Amino acid sequence: SQELEQSPQSLIVQEGKNLTINCTSSKTLYGLYWYKQKYGEGLIFLMMLQKGGEEKSHEKITAKLDEKKQQSSLHITASQPSHAGIYLCGADSGGTYKYIFGTGTRLKVLA
């Protein structure tokens, strides 16, 4: 079965620093989604990537999907305390209702 592995598991950065979170799939991705979750709350949809080489940006967050469609990265530029939370990647694993998720990356931004 397909799995998503995220790295790092946790990250602490100083405000203003850039950071990158990676998501690697054991199989080709049909659709890759990035979500942000605050502790004890629901997931907030950030971006969706479907094509190899695709890159999308929203404010200071950029996500890319590699050409082989097996790895995605999420890059935050000039991090702020508001970026703190858990970032999860999710994927459409090929079946109509089969979504899978990584274990998440916990981000803390120090002011």
Partner 1 sequence: ETGVTQTPRHLVMGMTNKKSLKCEQHLGHNAMYWYKQSAKKPLELMFVYSLEERVENNSVPSRFSPECPNSSHLFLHLHTLQPEDSALYLCASSQVRVLSNQPQHFGDGTRLSIL
The residue ranges that bind partner 1 (CB under 8 A) are: 4, 30-31, 33, 35, 40-45, 48, 50, 88, 90, 92, 96-104
The residue among 74 and 92 lying less far from partner 1, judged by its C-beta, is 92
Nearer to partner 1, 92 or 107 (CB): 92
Query: Which residue pairs from 9-13 have beta carbons closer than 8 angstroms and sit at least 24 positions apart in sequence?
Result: 9/103, 9/104, 9/105, 9/106, 10/105, 10/106, 10/107, 10/108, 11/105, 11/106, 11/107, 11/108, 12/107, 12/108, 12/109, 12/110, 13/79, 13/107, 13/108, 13/109, 13/110
State the nearest-atom distance from the C-beta of 82 to partner 1, in Å: 18
At its nearest, how many Å lie between partner 1 and the CB of residue 18? 25
Least separation, in Å, of the C-beta of 78 and partner 1?
26
Please say which residue, 4 or 19, places its beta carbon nearer to partner 1.
4
